[in-house]
Amino acid sequence: MNKIFITLVLLFSSLLSQSKGFEKIDKKTVAIYTQYCSSCHGEKIEAFVDRKWLHGNTKPEVIASITNGWISGGMPSWKNTIATKDIDKLASLIVKSLENVEQYKFASKPKTNVFKSGKMTLKLDTVATGFESPWGLTQLPSGDFLITDRAGVLYKVDNNRNKTIIKNTPKVLAKGQGGLLDVEIHPDYAQNGWVYMTYSKFKEEEGSTWTTTALVRGKIENDTFTNIEELFEAKPYTKTTHHYGSRIVFDGKGYVYFTVGERGKHFEYAQNTDNDLGKIHRLHDDGKIPTDNPYYGKLPDSQSLYAYGNRNPQGLIQNPITKNIWEHEHGPRGGDEINIVKAGVNFGWPTISYGINYDGKPITNLSKKDGMEQPVFYYIPSIAPSGMAFVTGNKYPSWSGNLLIGSLRYNYLERCVIKDNKVVSNHKELLNIGRMRNVKMGNDGYIYIGVENPGMVFRLVSE
């Protein structure tokens, strides 16, 4: 038995020993899965089972699939390789894994806007409605909000809940996952009035539409976006219309950080440092490149690059205590990650991953590699994270210091308890309120939440 096989078995055994419902699965069954199944279905069985089952997912159906195979789909018969009793145990392992995945699925819509969390009673107070997808949100010193709709519109929402369209915002390609994305104001907005936005910029060339992620800033005067300056345009453009990344955060030291996805079909961009895709970038607030960026002067392009090896980062926030920048990103099927951003760090995508591809096949057989950063936390199955906030102030005493993440897939608020830069526990809140696109702390101390289908923004009130 070679070292790689032993490592996979030990790693998988460790994972199973920590998971509910796996206590009675013996190490031999784990070894069988690792030896015969993982090369096609991935190292993590939780990612493998989180899929559409074409031939049934009951134990008898799984036994039949393993025993007889499905040659037309590339699945061989294992009846002459794996003993009948071991196939039975392997099917039990898969069915137990399915039960673990199923617990994440919630079917019914809430019948009330009031929720309980520990000793707190929480109420959703509607701030604004009528969006396709309220992607970005920031609160002005006046208490008014700027809210982007992915469809391509920037709204100002005042304290009386009146919506006003801000004219002259960048033209976007609102297709796939593209559109008008994040919005953030400069830390000194009260003095300088700068508003920053990311969006899917596009151009027509050679009979095709090409898109990229761009960062602009401007000022709002008479409900019009003016004094527009393009600070960044990711290279290269691609024909794909997803994985734009696009969250923005300031660090209080004059730097702006923002994320760019690897654009979906171009995994290799994330590992190569000669392009801007699959990266976290850092600029001065006026768009100049900081001379202490890790690749400044070392690369002909992408000198704004601060960290790389990212898939599709849709969460970016500064920890108010440690001042570290935290990030989360979508994995494929499994492997969503929470990371702490450090200069020059390689987060590994797609060389390492805890997820598998959407077709059920592994992207990589590695989840760790020297020189590549391990996530603070990862999710199997994927929750599809979007938006990110650390809870500050005194309005939510039970959640103080917790990290909040929206789940697009499971329609809830993910709450993570953080200790020593680790996720020590995680909890599901506000079940089934909708595809949660964004979660943000307002400067008034309230938590604000944007959901899709229908597109609405709520203020979370603790009673």
Active-site annotation, residues: 243
* C-alpha–C-alpha distance, residues 227 and 206, integer Å: 32
Write out the two tokens for 399: 């959640």
* C-alpha–C-alpha distance, residues 189 and 206, integer Å: 41
Write out the two tokens for 129: 């409605």
Residue whose pair of structure tokens reads 């003016």 in the numeric block: 226
Sheet hosting strand 447-452, strand order edge to edge: 114-117, 120-131, 455-462, 447-452, 435-441
Q: What angle, rounded to 10 degrees, do the helices at 59-68 and 84-102 form? A: 130
Distances (CA, A) of 217 to 140, 184, 233: 15, 9, 12
Q: How many residues does the chain have?
A: 463
Beta-sheet pairing, 385-390 with 403-407: antiparallel
Residues 6 or more apart whose Cβ sits within 8 Å of residue 127: 145, 157, 161, 448, 457, 458, 459
Give alpha helix (H) positions in 116-243.
189-192
Residues 6 or more apart whose Cβ sits within 8 Å of residue 193: 186, 219, 220
* C-alpha–C-alpha distance, residues 63 and 67, integer Å: 6
Of 1, 74, 2, 10, give the one whose Cα is nearest residue 37.
74
Beta-sheet pairing, 180-185 with 385-390: unpaired
DSSP assignment of 66-113: HHH-BGGGTB---TTTS-HHHHHHHHHHHHHHHHHHHTT---SPPS-S
Q: What do you get for the CA distance between the two ends of the chain, in Å?
A: 59
The CA dihedral of 80, 81, 84, 86, to the nearest 10 degrees, is 180
* C-alpha–C-alpha distance, residues 221 and 375, integer Å: 42
